[in-house]
A and B are shown apart, each in its own frame.
Chain A
C-alpha cells in the first residue's frame, strides 16, 4: 500500500515536471485538475500539492547539478531584496499552492453534482 503511494507520488511529480518542461508553469493547475478528476483519493488536493512541489523540486535539483543556481539565488535575492532561501522556498510553494487550489475544485464539483442529483 505504502509502496503504491510512493510510486504514485513519483509518477505524479514526474507528470508535473514534464508538463512544466514541455508547456510551462501554467500547466501545473491543469495537471492537478486532471489528477484530481481521475483520483479516488478522499483528499487529492493535498497529494497533488505535495507532488507539484516535488516535481519542481526535482527540476530545481537538476538545475543545481548543471550550473551556478546558488549564484542566481544570491543575485535575484539581491534584486528583490529578499534572502535567496525565500526564493527557493517560493519556488516550491508556488506550484504546491497552484496544484492544491486547482485540485480542490474537483471534489467540490463532485460534491455539488451529487447534491444536485440527490437533493434529498
Chain B
C-alpha cells in the first residue's frame, strides 16, 4: 500500500492539474504562480513604459493611460487610432467583449454547456446573429466605420496574439476557454444585443392581457397610446405638465377572444427573451438635459448625460480619448467591441442619448405550405421560399448539444406558437449604418452637423441631445419609425398573407420629435412620450413611462436661470420626486376625509402622521420613504385587482398586471370609480377606502419587516441599494449593497433588485475650453483582481463626478497623472 500510494496520488494530482473536475477548472494552470491567476494578478498593473507591436500600423501610436485608467490615444491617422484602441480595449476588457457577442450569437453553450442552452436558443430564435451577419455582409466595405471596425479587429487580435499566458483573463481560466479571433461582425453582434435591450418592446402583450380580463375599452384606456400626462421631450409651449384626464372606462367583462391572442404574443415574447417583471417602470430610466447659455451661470451651454442600463461588472462602457491631429479629438465612452465614442464630446460639440422606447417591431400571422415542416409562405396568393437556417449548439468540448431549424420570411424570423406561424419584423433587421452614424458624431463641429450625421440612424430609436460651443442646443428622437397601413398602429398581429400589411416605409426625419434652441432655454428627456399628440398625432408607440423624471428635471430647470455645472451634477441624483409630490397628498387627504367621516382608525391616523413627516425626498437618511413605497405597492395591488394575472408569479405569489403609475393618478380624480372596488371583499370600496387601507397595510408591512418607525431599519439607505452583477453572475465577482440616493420616479431611479441604474454620468460645459466631468459604476479594468475594477464605485455611489482630462497633445497631459505610457509600433 505504501508503495502504491505515491503513484495513485500523482495520478490524481495530474488529473486535477490537467482536467476540469465539476465546476472547478484545471488547477495546474490555475495555481501556477508563473502563468496562472497569481501571475495574472501581478500583470494587471500596467508598467510605467511599455512597447508593443500591432501589425499593419502605418506609424507609431502613443497611448497615455491616466490615473483614472483612461487611455488617451495619439495617432497620426484614423486607421492607426482604431488599431490602437482595439488593442487597449482588449487588454482591459477582452472577456467582456467576447461574452457580449456570444450572448448575441447564441454561443454561450460553448462555454457553459447545457446550462446556457435555453438562453442561446432564445438569442438565435430572435435572429440576432442572422440580422448581424446580414448587416455585416451588406455593409459598405469602403465606409469609414467598416475600415474602423476592421482596424479595431486587427488591434484586438494583435493583443490576443501577443498575450502571455499570464495575461489570460480570470474568466477564461474559470471556463477553461481561450479567446476567439475578433472580426468586424462581432461589432454588429454587440449592436444587435444592445438593440434587443433597448429596442424590442411589446406593449400590446400587456394590453391584450388586460383586455382578456377587463375588455377592450378598459384595456385601451389603461395602456394608452398617448400618455395621459403630457410633458413631452419636444417642448409644447406649456410651462408645466398637462393632465389629459378624461373618464376612465369602467372594467368590462373578460374578452375571451383576447385570451388566445394574448397567450400567443406572450409565449412568443417569452420564447424570445425572459419575461419582465410586471411592475410600473418608475424604477428604471435614463435622463439627459441641456441648458442654453441664457440659463447657464457661465453663459455657455451645458449638457448632462445620464443613461441608465443594467448594471454590470465590468461596466457596459469604456472611457477613452482619441486624438488624430486635425481630424479627430473626442472623449467619452464607447462600447467594448465597437470603435469610437458613442456618448461624449469633442472640442466643439457634446452629445448624449436616452432611449425613445418607440414601437418598432410587428408580428405577422403567416400562411405556410406545411404545418410542421414549412418550406414556403404565401404573400398575395404567391408562394415564396422560406429561408431556412439549421442552428447547431455545441458544448465546451465541441459535442453537439442540440440543433434547431429556424425559418425566416422577408419580414424576419418565424416561429410556430399555439398552432400559428408568426413572423416578426423589427427595425433591428433593416439595412442600416449605425456604426458610421456613431463614428461620424465625433467629427461634427456644430449641432447642425451632428443632427445631419444622425439623419439616417435606424435602431434602437434614441433621444439624441446635443449642444455646441456656439450655444446651440437640440434634441431629436432619431431612428426608423415604421409607417404601417390602416390606423398605423403596430400593436396588432397582422395578416402576413397580404403584402398590403407590410410597412409602407419610415417616417421622414422632418417628422421626428425635434427641438432646437427653444424659447424656454433648456431641453430634457427621460423616456417619456417624445411629442405631444396635439402637435403630432402619428403613432410612435404606446404605454410610455410615467413622466415623473421629466416633470422633476423640467421643474428644476425652470426654477433656475443660472445653472452651474455642479447644479447639473446634483440634478443627476436629485432626491425629489414628482410622483411623491402627487401621491403623498392623496394618501393624506384620504386619511383626513375618512377621519372626518368617522371612518378613521388609530392605525390610519398613525400612518398618516408618519407619512406627513416625510419631506418627499429620497435621501439616504430619511425614514419615511419606505412607508410611502410600501403604501404605493399596496395601492397598486389593491386597485388593479381586476387585472390579477395568476399565471405571472411575483413576490406576493401573484402579480397584478400593473399599468403605469400615471394611470393611478388619473383614476384618483374619480372618487367612486368601480375600479376602486376590491372584488374580493363584500363591501364596495371607494377611492378613499382603498387609499386608506393601502396606507395602513403599508405601515403594517413595514412595521412587521423593519420594526419601530425610528429604528435604523426604516432608513432608506437600508432599503435601496445597487447590486452590480458580474457578467457571469458569479457573486464573488460582483459588487453588492452599494448605497444610493434616489428612489422610484426620481432622477436616480432604482428598482428593488438594484440591478439597473446610472451606467454613465457626464456633465460637459461648452465654453471656450471644454470642461467635462464623468463617472460610471465600476472601473476601466475588466480584471476582477485589479484595483481599477471597481475604483469608481464609491464616487458613483456618492453622486460625485471626476474631472475628465482632455489634452490636445501628449505634452498637455500632466505627467503626474500618467500611470502608464504605451508605445505601439508595427514592428
* Chain A residues in the interface with B (C-beta under 8 A): 17, 20-21, 24-26, 29, 45, 56, 59-60, 62-69, 71-72, 74-80, 87, 90-91, 94, 97-98, 100-102, 104-105, 108
Chain A residues whose CB sits within 8 angstroms of the CB of B733 once the complex forms: 75, 78-79
Decide if A71 touches B28 in the complex (CB within 8 Å): no
Name the distance in Å between A104's Cβ and chain B's nearest Cβ: 4
Return the chain A residue nearest B39 by Cβ. A63
Contact of B28 among A24, A65, A77, A105 (CB under 8 A): A24
Does B3 count as interface, using CB distance less than 8 angstroms?
yes
Q: What 19 additional pairs, Cβ within 8 angstroms, besides A63-B41, A102-B10?
A: A24-B28, A25-B17, A25-B28, A25-B31, A25-B32, A26-B14, A29-B10, A29-B14, A59-B34, A69-B785, A71-B786, A72-B40, A76-B170, A78-B732, A78-B733, A90-B31, A94-B17, A98-B13, A104-B6
**C-alpha spacing A98/B730, complex, angstroms:** 31
B residues with CB within 8 A of A: 3, 6-7, 9-10, 13-14, 17-18, 24, 27-29, 31-45, 165, 170, 174, 730-733, 784-787
Query: Known: A94-B27, A108-B3. Is A71-B785 also a contact (CB below 8 A)?
Result: yes
Chain B residue contacts of A100, Cβ below 8 A: 6
Instruction: Give chain A residues whose Cβ lies under 8 Å from the Cβ of B24.
Output: 80
Chain A residues with CB below 8 A from B18, complex form = 26
- Given A20-B34, A80-B24, A98 contacting B10 (CB threshold 8 A): yes
* CB nearest to A90 among chain B residues: B31
Shortest 7 CB-CB contacts between residues of A and residues of B = A78-B732, A101-B10, A72-B41, A59-B33, A72-B785, A66-B42, A67-B42
By the criterion CB–CB under 8 Å, are A97 and B9 in contact? yes
Chain A, residue nearest B174 (CB): A79
Contact call A101/B7, Cβ cutoff below 8 A: yes
- Which single member of B3, B31, B35, B785 contacts A67 (CB below 8 Å)? B785
Task: Determine if A91 and B38 form an interchain contact, defined as CB atoms under 8 angstroms apart.
Answer: yes
Query: Whole-angstrom distance from the CB of A31 to the nearest CB of chain B?
Result: 13
Q: In the bound complex, how far is the Cα of B13 from the Cα of A105, in angstroms? A: 15
- Also in contact, A68 and B785, with CB within 8 A (given A25-B17, A101-B13, A105-B7): yes
User: Is A101's CB under 8 angstroms from B9's CB?
Assistant: yes
Chain A interface SS verdict (over half): helix
Given A20-B33, A90-B27, verify A69-B10 contact (CB < 8 Å).
Answer: no
A68→B39 CA distance, assembly (Å): 10
| Given A63-B33, A79-B730, A80-B24, A71-B7 contact (CB < 8 Å) | no
- Closest beta carbon of chain B to A67's beta carbon, Å: 4
Other-chain residue from B14, B17, B731, B787 in contact with A78 (beta carbon distance below 8 A)? B731
Q: Which residues of B contact A71 (CB under 8 A)?
A: 41, 784-787
Looking at the assembled complex, report how far the CB atom of A72 sits from the nearest CB atom of chain B, in whole angstroms: 4
Can you report 14 residue pairs joining A to B where beta carbons are below 8 Å apart? A20-B35, A69-B785, A71-B784, A71-B785, A71-B786, A72-B784, A72-B785, A75-B733, A75-B785, A76-B170, A78-B730, A94-B17, A98-B13, A98-B17
B34 touches A69 (CB 8 A): no
Contact of A68 among B6, B33, B35, B787 (CB under 8 A): B787
Q: How far is the CB of B242 from chain A (nearest CB, A)?
A: 52
Q: Decide: B41 and A67 in contact? CB cutoff 8 A.
A: yes
Determine which of B9, B33, B731 lies in contact with A91 in the assembled complex, contact meaning CB atoms within 8 Å.
B33
Q: Is the CB of A56 within 8 A of B13?
A: no
